[in-house]
Structures are given as structure tokens and as C-alpha cells.
């Protein structure tokens, strides 16, 4: 195993430990080691990418982790095309977020702890994507969950932040419940957890069945769906999406790194990594497509009415993740990972831009108090504009290429729900452009709506924050060029590169259809932008009127379809009540304790009666002895 | 050197040396107690280093005739199943002495005498190879435990001790009857290894299985005979809780491994599903009930019911992953719950409150301590990288292999566990700081010394579990080879009960 592969996760791990231990002494210098570690990781990731591009795929065990019976799992690394792409995304965004945080977190009393956690996250995410077996995936999976929990609740004196961290962890556990069962089923089926061995043996299980809880499933379908449960949790798909918007309680750089660019895409990575298993079940693929499409629309509509700048971007993230799942669902894994790649840059840029705005506004996150920030934050303005254009699918920018490929694949697939997903995807492309530019115009155009105190405080962020914005903007513009399709004069380099791992889903349609589909989606995006311009710049009084006329719809949207309230009512509160009244008060204290305390009481009462036998009269004792002796003799001789 | 005898009797004899010390100089008493506990730990280390991992045979065996007319032997030995528990006992006792340094102010001499006596008897339980000797240690252990809770415990200590004592005694008496029957049936011997050579009629096996079950299930404790545990834990002093959670309740599960499974293999196979069901009820019931607890120690006590449910689930999965996972989870639970009780003891010394509502924002006041507690919490909820994950995963995998439904139900414990532990953590360490906690002292050097070994073990076992699993492989394989793989025609609980009827 090459040295750089060992160093890749080791550098952030050491940085985490050392920063945690030495934070007190390092104080405001605590970022040095984590930034160094992130740079080392980025260098190693580029080296890995170089090797893979030259055809060197590594699959090697580091050491044996658990041995029990026929189970043998290792910590080991698999570096192929998919891993290499993930490594570059993770390390590059991580480094930029590290640097940005030097400015954003400056003066925070827990500055060292923040950087320690960033390193922990980087380590965890690298372990997740590097693993060569399911259990190491699970290790990284839970470790990124832990980092996310710690960073969402970073300002833990705030109850809302502590609540949000806990919620993220517990909601994810619902997904992990399925994922861990899926991993066990993989082991029981294949006798190994090693990716390559499982994927090689995978075609052999077609047609087999498995009975779980009395229900009989096709074995490949059951495995795929259980694994997908984990993805639903981690990537915030319906019905487990509820944790991600709350996760915005964390510092904004965290939202950019963990809750936009990297961790939340782990679900997509899981499905892409396990594509040989998912390919075996059209039921599972249809489920993924439908879940993706429904979540896509669901989240985008909520984003329409949110006023917290970060929440808009958070719902937009959920919606964009759904596109990636749609891609996987229709078998275009390469397109899904391509969107993951471009999304990482433009979404991280959006979030860091939000951070720059929040920084300038002195912590204010409500767009209703913003407006006209263009002249105060020029760099933030232009980079934010590029990111918004990119996510809206403006031709030539990163988001255009990846989203277009997904829509094309959804349209042409032979998966039953493909056309449905294509239609939803098209509608959402329009909505996405609309809410992205609604946010953009509300924040940067019009007149300033905040307090004079806030106005006096307004300033562009320091270079340590704006330089990462500019670099990410480069990514948000150019990342898509890697996957430029043939009809635009490109070579679909991305798909060719990924083909050895993710296969190659070809769209067999005439050029005319391809042009037409592209035109429709571009039109959808541009009209979304135009509508936002019309409503929020030209006729700013219109949105209020619309809100009045559609007040019922607005209420549902602004309350996020009441999903949180629903879970509290049917899950959380009943469980607490069951715990308090049924189990604690009734079953334990009354039923079991009743027996436990009742038996001694009964014995006490009985012994009170028996005590009368002990009368002190010798003749009674003699009579008892005699009858006892007779009884014994009878028993000995007759029985 | 007869190392096992030394390990049993050294702390007891040393305890006698503590007795004549001047009770007005508690520092000296503590120093002697600590010296004894540390020496005992060092003495136990050869068990780790000289243990032969390639054989299932008993090692460090001592065998002497004792009570000739009844063919009672003084027989000691350890194998891959018991050796780790001896080490866990000697380690945790050292930490118990340290954590009692300030908290035990009344009658310190008697306290440390009781603690050292307890240590000797516990080691005896894990080493005894003769049923008679085992039973003596098993019951003798109750006396110092009874005293520790009853004398140095909280306000409701008398109720708790009487309940604890009666519960365990009732179970033990049934086992005693079982032991006598087994003695007759097995050819008038108490020798565990010899008894295991025989094949007993299935009906006798079932009767004996339930008789031993009574004793072991109470100790584990399995649902529904768990209600002594919350009271005992809540009222016990910190060291008492640590020993109770860390070691004492492991004896029940150990009993299943050492007696029920090898002596009554057919009955074990028949009882597999009922035992799994009881375990799952324990996991879910114990976990759910934690959610509404308002007392920290009571919450951790109920969480033990849930975690021990995982242990018994693993053992009765009757396959390698399940049994090894169960044994590992016993050790893990000893480390993690021991650590949690030690940590609670540390903070209780400062606040004198066990009510969760009295806390909040502790992470701002005691940041290092909060870090330790976070690690223990993560281990309790089985995060990969901690020991708890390896144990739970192996147990669930074992359960899945033998009964997939069992794993599905048991895995809900992962969700419930995260819920109550993280909620506890939030209410104690996060949220706006409670003004009542301002100015309490940060964690001191002695306390860090107490917590570091357990924190290190959590991570070491989490990343290199084979260090411990290697000790078990051969012994567990030997144990499982005795249990019939073929399943009896009908294994439902009703069928099993019907077999008991004449």
C-alpha cells in the first residue's frame, strides 16, 4: 500500500488528537495544524487521483479489525475511480472550509475545539470513502455522524443547537438501523463483507428469496432496500429529511462542508459504490427513483417560502441530493456522482457566501432584514451570483452539465418511474432557479431592511474568507466541463473515467431529442430566474399579495408540511408516555414490584398464621412428629 | 505459584491486615487498601501474559481434595471464557479504591475491608471448577456487597439491600436444589468438568436448566426479574455501583456459559428462542424505560438491563459470533458502565445530586470531564471505534444468523439507546448553564487517573478487539461443539414447558 494512502486519513486524525490536547496552549493559533493536515490530505488525494488516472487501482488491507468464527473484517483501502473522485471533493472542500473558518470563527472561545472537530470530520469522511468493506463504511458512516453531531451542537449552551445535534444523530440512527441489518444480510448471504468479493458473487443471488419477519422478499431487493435505508437517513431523503434543516444551527462553515458538500452525499456514494447489488433489483431502483423525485419536489417547495438564509440553502441541498438519487435510481450512477461533484462546489460556495453575509450582518440570518448588500459585499455578491447561476442550470456552468445529464438519463431510462422522475426534475429545475434567485435578490438587491446599527457594521469579509469563495467560484463554473457531452463538443470524460466502477449508461436518443431536452431544461431554469426577478426586483409588492391569496398553501409550506409535528405526535410523545406511564409506573412499579413485594408480604402473613403452631405444648409437637414419621414410612415403602 | 489461590485469598488476608489499623488515620487505611488492590492487579497480569490461547483446557489449575465424604474438591482453573473476567475484576477494584478516596468518610476501614473481601470472592466465582466451591463463593460474595450498599449507601439503602438480598437468595436457593440433583445424577461429584462429560436425560436437563436459570437470570438481570437492580444501583455508593454493574451482574451471564450451556446442551438448544425473546424484551423494555428516568444513576441502571439483554441474546444465539460477541459485550459493559458510574460518582461528590434536572451546561464548567463522559456515552451507544460497537455488532450478527427476526427487534435498541443517552448527555452537559453549577471544581489528577484506563480500554478494544477475541476463540468453539446443531422438532416455549410435565 502506498505511503500516501496511509497518510491521507492519518494526518487529520493526528491533527484531531493533537489539537484537542493542545488547544488550551495553542489558542488562536489552533488552526495551523488542522490546515496543515488538510493540505497534506489534499496532496495525498491528488496523488491517489493521479495513480488511478494512470490505471493503478489499490485494494489492500491495513490490519485485521475483527475476527470471530467465519467473520473476518479489516481496516483496508479501496482506491478506484469512484474513491478518487470522492477523495478530491472531500479534501479540497475541507481545506477551503478550514481556511475560511480562520476568519469566520475568529474570537470564538472554543476556537481550538472547532478545528479539532473539523479534523475529526475530515478523518471520518476519508475513512468512509476509502474503505474496502462494508464495516469500514459503517465505521466512517457513524464517525461522520458523530462529527456532525458535535459540530451542529458546537454552540452547545444554546438549547436549540444541542437539540438539533441530538436530533440529527437519532434520526440518522433510524437509517442506520436498516443499514446495519443490510450489512448483516450481506454477510449472511455472501459470507464476507469485502466489497470486491461481494460484488463478484452478487449476480449469483438473483432469484433467491429471504424471509424476514414473516415476509418473503427477493434477496437482492431486500439487501438493496436495507442498505438504502442508511442512505435515506444520511442524505436526508423523505421520511428522514427532518434533521438537515435543523442542522443549520451549526456554524456556517460546517453547513458548507458537512451538510452540503460531503457528508450528506455519503448516501449517494453508498448507492453508487454498491451499484452491482442495486442493479440486481428493479424494485429497489424504482423505489430510489421515486423517493428521490418526491423528495426533490417536496424540499424545493418548502425552500420557496423560507426566510432564514441558511434554511433556504439547506432545503435546496435536500432537493439537489434527490437529483443524485434519481440518477442512481435510473441506473446512471456516473451522472449521480457527477452531480455530487459539481454540487459540492456550487453548494459549498452558496453556504460560505451565506456565512459571509451572516458575518457582515453580525449573526443575522433572516433575509427580511437584508437587502441591497451588493455594494457592501462585492466579492460575496459576484461569487454568490455565479453559484446561483450554476445551481439554476445556466448554460456553461457546472450545474448545467450535471443536471442536464440526469434529466436526459431519467427521460431515456427503461426504469419504469424514469419519465415521472424526469418530469418532476424539470419542474424542480424551474423552482430551484426561482428560489435561488429569490434568495439572491432579497439579499443583495433592493434596499437595506435591517437596523442602522447593522448597516454601520456591514463590511466585506477578510481575504481569508473571500479567497476560498473565489476558488470555489472557479469550481462552480468549471467543474462541469469535465463531463461535457458529445453534442456540445465535449468527450463525456467523466463518464469514461467512471465507467470501470459505475458502468456506462448510454442514452440512445437522436441528437434532436437531446437538444430538445436540453433546451427545455435551460428554458425552465431561465424562466425561474426571470420570475424571481419579476417578483422580487420589478414588482416587490407582488409576493405579499400572493401570500395573501394562497394563505393555506403558504401555511403548509412555511410549516414544512408539519412533518416534525407529526413525528412528535406519533413517535416521540407516545414513546415518552409509554416509558413514563406504561413501563415505569405500571409494568415495573405496579406489576412486577407488586409480585416482588407481594410474595414476601404473603409469606409474612402466612408465617403469622403458622406461628400459632408453635404453641409450646409438647403434646402438639409429639403428634406432629409421629404423623410425620408415619408419613415418611408410607412414602418410603409404598411409593 | 498457585496463582489463582493467591488471587482469591491475598485480598482477603490483606483485608485482615487492614483491620488492626488505627481508624483515626484514614489516609493510612486508604494507602494500604490501594497498595493491596494494585498488587492484586499486578499479580493477576500473568493470567494475561502466560495464558495459552491455543487450548480449550483449563489453565493454572489447582486441584485438592477437600470434603472427602461428599467428594468435594478445592478445584480452580480458568479458560478463555473466565480469564478476562478475573482481569476485569482486579482492574476495576483498583479504580473503586481510588474513587472512594474522598467519598467514603464514614467507617473507611470497614469499607475497604468489605471491598477487598468482595474482590476475593468474585475472583473465586470465576475460578471455581467445583460446584460446591462455586456455590460458596457465589453466596459469600453477597455478604460484603450487602454491607457496602446497606452501610455506605443512600437514603433508601435498607430497602434496596433487603430487596437485592432476597431476590438473589431466592434464585440461588433454586440453583442449590439444582446442584444437589445434579450431584446425584452426575455420579456423586461436584466437579464441573466431570459433570460435563455426562449426557443427561432431556427432562432432567430442562428441570436443571430452569433451576440454574433462576439464579443466573436474577443476577444478569433478565427481564422480568430486574427490578432489584435500579434500587440497588441508585442507593449503592459509587464503588458499589461500579462493582455491581461492572462485575457482579456478569456472573449471571457467566453462569449460563459455564453451567447451563455445557451441562444442559439439549435443553439450551430447546430454550434458545424463549431466551432470545426474554433478551429482546429486556433490550427494548430496559431502553424505553430509561427515557423517562429523572435520576442519573437509575437511568444507567436501567440501561444495564438493556445492555445485558444484548449479552444474553448473543449467548443464546448459539453461534460463534453471538457467543463471542456476548462475552465481549460483558467485558465492554463492565468497562463502560463502570466508567459511567465512576464518572457520575465524580460529579456527585461536587453537587450531591443525582437528579438530571439539577444539571445543565456542565461542559462549560468541566470541559475535560465532559470529554471523558462523551467517550463513555459513545461507547454505551455502540459507536464504531469504541468497544461497544464490536460487541453489539457481533451479537446482532450472531442473532441475525440464527434468527433474523431477533436481530431486527434487538437492533431497535440502537435507536432507543442513542435517544436516552444523548438526551441525558444534553441535559447534563449542554443547554444553558445551570447557575447552581457555577464555580464547581474541574476534574483533578486522581480522577483523571481513574478514568484514563477505562477510556483507553474503550478505544483499544474498539480498534483492536482481537486482543480479547483471541482469548475466546478456542474455548468458545469447544463450548459450541457440545451444543447440538440440529434443532429439536418443536422449540416453542409451550413445548418446553410441556416437556417438564410428568
Residue B412: band (very low, low, confident or very high) from pLDDT cuts 50, 70, 90: very high
List chain A residues with CB under 8 Å of B463: 65
Residue A170: band (very low, low, confident or very high) from pLDDT cuts 50, 70, 90: very high
Which residues make Cβ contacts (< 8 Å) with residue B43, sequence separation at least 6? B3, B6, B7, B10, B90
B414 with A180: Cβ contact below 8 A: yes
| Alpha carbon distance A17, A427 (integer Å) | 47
A68 with B394: Cβ contact below 8 A: yes
pLDDT at B488: 58
**pLDDT tens digit string along B280-308?**
999 999 999 999 999 999 999 999 999 99
| Alpha carbon distance B493, B272 (integer Å) | 9
Interface mutation target, options A23, A61, A64, A68, chain B, most CBs of B under 10 Å: A68
Residues facing residue B273 across a β-bridge: none
**Cell reading at B372:** 471523558
Q: Is the pLDDT of residue A638 over 80?
A: no
Range scoring the smallest mean pLDDT among A587-601, A609-623, B116-130, B268-282:
A609-623
A177 with B405: Cβ contact below 8 A: no
Range scoring the smallest mean pLDDT among A222-231, B19-28, B72-81, B310-319:
B19-28
- ipTM summary value: 0.92
H or E element: which one contains B447?
A: helix B445-463
Range scoring the smallest mean pLDDT among A388-402, A480-494, B202-216, B344-358:
A480-494
pLDDT at B502: 46
List chain B residues with CB under 8 Å of A23: none
List chain B residues with CB under 8 Å of A173: 414-415, 418-419
pLDDT at A592: 85
State the nearest Cα–Cα gap between B322 and chain A, in angstroms. Answer: 9
Write out the E strands in A541-615. none
Q: What is the mean pLDDT of residues A88-110?
A: 93
Q: Is the pLDDT of residue B500 over 60?
A: no
List chain B residues with CB under 8 Å of A165: 426
Query: Alpha carbon of A438 to those of A320, A361, B315: distances in Å?
Result: 17, 19, 60
pLDDT at A354: 94
Q: What is the mean pLDDT of residues A46-75?
A: 91
pLDDT at A381: 94
Taking alpha carbons only, the member of A370, A267, A245, A399 closest to residue A311 is: A245
Q: Which percentage of chain B shows pLDDT scores above 90?
A: 58
**pLDDT tens digit string along B183-193?**
888 888 899 88
Range scoring the smallest mean pLDDT among A258-262, A301-305, A390-394, B106-110:
B106-110
List chain B residues with CB under 8 Å of A163: 426
List chain B residues with CB under 8 Å of A219: none
Q: What is the mean pLDDT of residues B59-66?
A: 90
A166 with B426: Cβ contact below 8 A: yes
Interface mutation target, options A117, A162, A179, A596, chain B, most CBs of B under 10 Å: A162
Q: Which percentage of chain A shows pLDDT scores above 70?
A: 100
List chain A residues with CB under 8 Å of B474: none
Residue A579: band (very low, low, confident or very high) from pLDDT cuts 50, 70, 90: confident
**pLDDT tens digit string along A408-444?**
999 988 888 888 999 999 999 999 999 999 999 999 9
**Nearest Cβ partner of A579 from B228, B289, B466?**
B289
State the nearest Cα–Cα gap between B413 and chain A, in angstroms. Answer: 9
Q: Is the pLDDT of residue A485 over 90?
A: no
Range scoring the smallest mean pLDDT among B98-102, B188-192, B357-361, B371-375:
B98-102
**pLDDT tens digit string along A262-299?**
999 999 999 999 999 999 999 999 999 999 999 999 99
Q: Are B228 and B161 in contact (CB under 8 A)?
A: no
A579 touches chain B (CB under 8 A): yes
Q: Which percentage of chain A shows pLDDT scores above 90?
A: 63
pLDDT at B419: 93
Q: What is the mean pLDDT of residues B356-368?
A: 90
Query: Within a 13 Å sphere around the CA of A489, how many CA atoms are in the beta-carbon half?
Result: 1
**Cell reading at B150:** 446497606
Q: Is the pLDDT of residue B327 over 50?
A: yes
A575 with B290: Cβ contact below 8 A: no
| Residues of A (179-208) whose Cβ lies below 8 Å from B | 180-181, 184-185, 187-188
**pLDDT tens digit string along B385-402?**
999 999 999 999 999 999
**Cell reading at A282:** 428493479
Residue A499: band (very low, low, confident or very high) from pLDDT cuts 50, 70, 90: confident
Q: What is the mean pLDDT of residues B433-438?
A: 86
| Alpha carbon distance A82, A448 (integer Å) | 45
**Cell reading at A102:** 480562520
Q: What is the mean pLDDT of residues A73-80?
A: 93
A575 with B401: Cβ contact below 8 A: no
Q: What is the mean pLDDT of residues A156-183?
A: 94
pLDDT at A253: 94
**Cell reading at B211:** 433451576
B210 touches chain A (CB under 8 A): no
B383 with A213: Cβ contact below 8 A: no
A568 touches chain B (CB under 8 A): no
Q: β-strand B72-78 against A58-68: which pairing, if any?
A: unpaired
Range scoring the smallest mean pLDDT among A109-118, A565-574, A623-632, B241-250:
A623-632
Q: What is the mean pLDDT of residues A627-638?
A: 81
Residues of chain A by 3-state class (helix, strand, coil), percent to 5: 75, 5, 20
**Nearest Cβ partner of A188 from B384, B401, B431?**
B401
Q: What is the mean pLDDT of residues B444-471?
A: 93
B321 touches chain A (CB under 8 A): yes
Peptide bond into A178 cis (omega under 30): no
B391 touches chain A (CB under 8 A): no
**pLDDT tens digit string along A320-340?**
999 999 999 998 999 999 999
Question: What is the rounded average pLDDT for all residues in chain B?
Answer: 90
Specify whether the backbone of B78 is left (phi greater than 0), alpha (psi in -120 to 50) or beta. beta
The domain locations on chain B are: 279-463
pLDDT at A584: 84
Q: What is the mean pLDDT of residues B338-345?
A: 93
Which residues make Cβ contacts (< 8 Å) with residue B153, sequence separation at least 6? B160, B161, B235, B236, B237, B240
Which residues make Cβ contacts (< 8 Å) with residue B107, sequence separation at least 6? B23, B151, B152
**Nearest Cβ partner of B432 from A68, A157, A173?**
A157
H or E element: which one contains A77?
A: strand A71-79
Range scoring the smallest mean pLDDT among A460-464, A516-520, A582-586, B62-66:
A582-586
CB crowding A249-277: b at 16 or more within 10 Å, else e: bbbbbbbbbbbbbbbbbbbbbbbbbbbbb
B289 with A213: Cβ contact below 8 A: no
CA dihedral A628, A632, A634, A636 (to 10 degrees): 180
**Cell reading at B97:** 479504591
**pLDDT tens digit string along B124-179?**
999 999 999 999 999 999 889 989 988 888 888 888 888 888 888 888 889 999 99
A174 with B394: Cβ contact below 8 A: no
| Alpha carbon distance A152, A160 (integer Å) | 10
A157 with B285: Cβ contact below 8 A: no
Q: Are A116 and A87 in contact (CB under 8 A)?
A: no
Which residues make Cβ contacts (< 8 Å) with residue B361, sequence separation at least 6? A157, B429, B430, B431, B432, B433, B434, B437
With 0-12 / 13-18 / 19 or more C-beta atoms within 10 angstroms meaning exposed / middle / buried, residue B27 is: exposed
Q: Is the pLDDT of residue A506 over 80?
A: no
Q: Is the pLDDT of residue B487 over 70?
A: no
A170 touches chain B (CB under 8 A): yes
A579 with B426: Cβ contact below 8 A: no
pLDDT at A431: 95
**Nearest Cβ partner of B414 from A67, A153, A177?**
A177
State the nearest Cα–Cα gap between A183 and chain B, in angstroms. Answer: 9
A184 with B426: Cβ contact below 8 A: no
Q: Kindly identify which residue of chain B lies nearest to residue A71, measuring between CA atoms.
A: B321
Q: Kindly identify which residue of chain A lies nearest to residue B286, measuring between CA atoms.
A: A583
Q: Is the pLDDT of residue A7 over 60?
A: yes
List chain B residues with CB under 8 Å of A592: 224, 227
pLDDT at B28: 85
Peptide bond into A239 cis (omega under 30): yes
Q: Are B7 and B60 in contact (CB under 8 A)?
A: no
**Nearest Cβ partner of B431 from A159, A180, A576?**
A159
Q: Is the pLDDT of residue A639 over 80?
A: no
Q: β-strand A209-212 against A58-68: which pairing, if any?
A: unpaired
List chain A residues with CB under 8 Å of B411: 177, 180-181
pLDDT at B497: 57
Which residues make Cβ contacts (< 8 Å) with residue A446, sequence separation at least 6? A371, A372, A536, A537, A540
Q: Is the pLDDT of residue A525 over 80?
A: yes
List chain B residues with CB under 8 Å of A211: 404
| Residues of B (435-474) whose Cβ lies below 8 Å from A | 463-466, 469-470, 473
List chain B residues with CB under 8 Å of A180: 393, 396, 411, 414
| Alpha carbon distance A551, A565 (integer Å) | 20
List chain B residues with CB under 8 Å of A16: none
A419 touches chain B (CB under 8 A): no
Q: Kindly identify which residue of chain B lies nearest to residue A75, measuring between CA atoms.
A: B463
Query: Within a 13 Å sphere around the CA of B25, how many CA atoms are in the beta-carbon half?
Result: 9
pTM of the model: 0.92
Q: Which percentage of chain B shows pLDDT scores above 70?
A: 97
Q: Kindly identify which residue of chain B lies nearest to residue A67, measuring between CA atoms.
A: B466
A170 with B166: Cβ contact below 8 A: no
Amino acid at each position: 500500500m502506498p505511503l500516501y494512502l496511509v497518510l491521507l486519513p492519518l494526518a487529520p486524525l493526528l491533527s484531531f488528537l493533537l489539537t484537542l490536547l493542545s488547544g488550551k496552549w495553542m489558542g488562536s493559533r489552533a488552526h495551523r495544524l488542522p490546515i496543515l493536515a488538510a493540505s497534506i490530505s489534499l496532496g495525498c488525494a491528488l496523488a491517489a487521483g493521479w495513480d488511478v488516472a494512470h490505471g493503478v487501482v489499490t485494494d489492500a488491507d491495513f490490519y485485521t479489525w475483527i475476527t470471530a468464527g467465519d467473520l473476518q473484517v479489516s481496516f483496508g483501502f479501496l482506491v478506484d475511480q469512484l474513491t478518487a473522485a470522492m477523495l478530491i471533493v472531500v479534501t479540497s472542500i475541507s481545506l477551503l472550509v478550514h481556511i475560511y473558518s480562520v476568519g469566520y470563527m475568529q474570537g470564538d472561545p472554543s476556537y481550538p475545539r472547532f478545528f479539532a472537530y473539523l479534523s475529526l470530520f475530515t478523518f471520518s469522511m476519508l475513512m468512509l470513502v476509502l474503505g474496502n468493506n462494508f464495516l469500514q463504511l459503517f465505521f466512517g458512516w457513524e464517525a461522520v455522524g458523530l462529527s456532525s453531531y458535535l459540530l451542529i451542537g458546537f454552540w452547545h449552551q444554546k438549547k436549540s443547537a444541542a437539540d438539533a445535534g441530538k436530533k440529527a444523530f437519532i434520526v440518522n440512527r433510524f437509517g442506520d438501523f436498516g443499514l446495519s441489518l443490510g450489512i448483516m444480510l450481506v454477510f449472511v448471504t455472501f459470507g464476507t463483507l469485502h466489497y470486491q468479493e461481494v460484488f463478484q458473487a452478487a449476480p449469483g443471488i438473483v432469484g433467491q428469496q429471504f424471509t424476514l419477519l414473516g415476509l418473503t422478499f427477493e434477496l437482492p431487493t431486500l439487501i438493496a432496500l436495507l442498505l438504502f435505508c442508511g442512505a435515506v437517513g444520511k442524505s436526508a431523503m423523505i421520511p428522514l429529511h427532518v434533521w438537515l434543516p435543523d442542522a443549520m444551527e451549526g456554524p456556517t462553515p460546517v453547513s458548507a462542508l458537512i451538510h452540503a458538500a460531503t457528508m450528506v452525499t455519503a448516501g449517494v456514494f453508498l448507492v453508487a459504490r454498491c451499484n452491482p447489488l442495486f442493479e440486481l433489483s428493479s424494485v429497489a431502483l424504482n423505489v430510489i427513483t421515486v423517493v428521490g423525485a418526491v423528495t426533490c419536489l417536496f424540499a424545493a417547495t418548502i425552500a420557496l417560502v423560507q426566510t432564514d438564509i441558511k434554511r433556504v440553502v439547506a432545503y435546496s441541498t435536500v432537493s439537489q441530493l434527490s437529483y443524485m438519487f434519481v440518477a442512481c435510481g435510473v441506473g446512471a450512477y456516473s451522472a449521480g456522482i457527477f452531480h455530487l461533484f459539481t454540487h459540492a462546489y456550487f453548494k459549498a460556495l452558496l453556504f460560505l457566501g451565506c456565512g459571509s453575509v451572516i458575518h457582515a450582518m453580525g449573526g443575522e440570518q433572516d433575509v427580511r432584514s437584508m437587502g441591497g448588500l451588493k455594494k457592501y459585499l462585492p466579492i460575496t455578491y459576484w461569487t454568490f451570483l455565479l453559484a446561483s447561476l450554476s445551481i439554476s442550470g445556466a448554460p456553461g456552468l457546472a450545474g448545467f452539465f450535471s443536471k442536464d445529464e440526469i434529466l436526459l438519463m431519467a427521460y431515456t431510462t427503461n426504469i419504469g418511474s424514469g419519465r415521472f422522475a424526469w418530469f418532476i426534475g424539470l419542474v424542480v429545475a424551474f423552482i430551484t432557479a426561482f428560489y435561488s434567485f429569490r434568495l439572491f435578490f432579497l439579499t443583495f438587491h433592493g434596499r437595506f431592511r435591517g437596523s442602522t446599527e447593522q448597516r454601520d457594521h456591514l463590511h466585506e469579509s477578510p481575504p481569508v474568507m473571500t479567497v476560498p469563495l473565489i476558488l470555489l467560484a472557479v469550481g462552480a463554473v468549471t467543474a462541469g466541463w469535465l463531463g461535457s457531452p458529445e453534442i456540445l463538443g465535449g468527450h463525456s470524460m467523466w463518464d469514461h473515467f467512471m465507467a470501470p466502477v459505475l458502468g456506462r449508461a448510454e442514452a440512445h436518443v437522436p441528437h434532436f431529442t437531446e437538444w430538445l431536452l436540453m433546451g427545455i431544461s435551460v428554458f425552465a431554469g431561465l424562466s425561474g430566474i426571470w420570475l424571481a426577478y419579476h417578483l422580487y426586483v420589478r414588482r416587490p409588492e407582488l409576493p405579499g399579495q400572493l401570500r395573501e391569496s394562497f394563505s393555506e398553501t403558504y401555511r403548509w409550506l412555511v410549516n414544512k408540511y408539519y412533518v416534525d409535528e407529526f413525528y412528535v405526535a406519533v413517535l416521540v410523545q407516545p414513546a415518552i408516555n409509554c416509558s413514563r406511564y406504561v413501563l415505569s409506573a405500571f409494568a415495573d412499579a405496579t406489576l412486577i414490584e407488586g409480585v416482588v413485594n407481594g410474595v414476601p408480604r404473603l409469606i409474612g402473613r402466612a408465617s403469622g398464621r403458622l406461628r400459632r403452631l408453635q404453641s409450646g405444648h409438647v403434646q402438639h409437637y409429639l403428634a406432629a412428629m409421629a404423623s410425620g414419621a408415619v408419613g415418611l414410612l408410607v412414602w418410603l415403602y409404598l411409593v | 505459584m498457585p496463582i489463582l489461590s493467591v488471587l482469591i485469598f491475598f485480598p482477603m488476608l490483606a483485608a485482615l491486615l487492614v483491620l488492626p489499623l488505627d481508624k483515626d488515620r484514614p489516609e493510612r487505611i486508604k494507602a494500604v487498601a490501594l497498595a493491596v488492590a494494585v498488587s492484586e492487579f499486578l499479580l493477576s497480569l500473568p493470567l494475561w501474559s502466560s495464558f495459552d490461547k491455543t487450548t480449550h483446557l483449563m489453565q493454572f489449575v489447582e486441584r485438592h481434595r477437600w470434603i472427602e465424604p461428599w467428594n468435594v474438591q478445592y478445584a480452580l482453573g480458568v479458560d478463555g471464557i473466565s480469564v478476562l473476567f478475573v482481569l476485569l475484576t482486579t482492574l476495576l477494584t483498583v479504580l473503586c479504591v481510588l474513587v472512594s478516596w474522598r467519598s467514603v468518610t464514614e467507617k473507611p476501614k470497614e469499607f475497604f475491608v468489605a471491598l477487598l473481601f468482595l474482590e476475593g470472592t468474585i475472583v473465586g466465582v470465576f475460578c471455581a471448577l467445583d460446584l460446591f466451591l462455586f456455590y460458596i463463593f457465589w453466596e459469600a460474595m453477597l455478604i460484603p456487597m450487602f454491607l457496602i450498599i446497606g452501610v455506605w449507601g443512600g437514603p433508601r439503602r435498607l430497602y434496596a439491600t433487603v430487596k437485592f438480598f432476597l431476590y438473589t437468595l431466592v434464585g440461588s436457593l433454586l440453583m442449590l436444589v439444582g446442584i444437589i440433583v445434579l450431584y446425584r445424577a452426575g455420579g456423586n461429584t461436584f466437579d464441573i468438568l466431570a459433570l460435563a462429560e455426562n449426557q443427561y436425560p432431556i427432562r432432567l436437563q430442562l428441570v436443571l436448566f430452569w433451576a440454574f436459570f433462576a439464579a443466573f437470570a436474577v443476577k444478569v438481570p433478565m427481564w422480568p426479574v430486574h427490578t432489584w437492580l435500579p434500587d440497588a444501583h441508585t442507593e449503592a455508593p459509587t464503588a458499589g455501583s461500579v462493582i455491581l454493574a461492572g462485575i457482579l451482574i456478569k456472573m449471571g451471564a457467566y453462569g449460563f456459559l459455564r453451567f447451563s450451556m455445557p451441562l444442559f446442551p439439549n435443553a439450551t438448544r430447546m430454550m434458545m428462542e424463549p431466551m432470545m425473546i426474554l433478551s429482546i424484551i429486556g433490550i427494548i423494555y430496559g431502553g424505553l424505560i430509561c427515557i423517562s428516568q429523572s435520576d442519573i444513576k437509575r437511568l444507567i441502571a436501567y440501561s444495564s438491563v438493556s445492555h445485558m439483554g444484548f449479552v444474553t441474546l448473543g449467548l443464546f444465539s448459539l453461534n460463534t459470533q453471538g457467543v463471542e460477541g456476548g462475552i465481549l459485550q460483558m467485558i465492554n459493559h463492565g468497562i463502560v458502565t463502570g466508567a459511567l458510574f465512576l464518572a457520575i460518582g465524580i460529579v456527585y461528590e461536587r453537587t450531591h445530586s443525582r437528579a438530571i434536572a439539577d444539571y445543565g451546561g456542565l461542559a462549560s464548567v468541566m470541559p475535560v470531564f465532559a470529554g471523558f463522559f462523551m467517550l463513555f456515552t459513545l461507547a454505551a451507544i455502540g459507536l464504531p471505534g469504541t468497544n461497544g460497537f464490536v460487541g453489539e455488532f457481533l451479537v446482532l450478527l450472531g442473532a441475525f444468523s440464527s434468527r433474523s427476526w431477533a436481530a431486527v427487534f434487538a437492533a431497535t435498541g440502537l435507536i432507543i439507546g442513542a435517544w436516552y443517552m444523548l438526551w441525558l448527555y444534553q441535559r447534563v452537559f449542554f443547554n444553558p448553564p445551570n447557575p447552581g453549577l457555577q464555580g464547581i471544581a474541574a476534574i483533578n489528577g486522581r480522577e483523571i487517573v481513574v478514568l484514563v484506563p477505562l477510556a483507553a480500554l474503550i478505544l483499544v478494544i474498539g480498534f483492536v478487539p482481537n486482543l480479547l477475541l483471541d482469548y475466546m476463540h478456542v474455548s468458545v468453539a469447544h463450548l459450541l461443539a457440545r451444543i447440538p446443531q440440529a434443532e429439536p422438532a418443536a422449540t416453542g416455549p409451550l413445548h418446553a414447558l410441556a416437556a417438564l410435565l410428568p
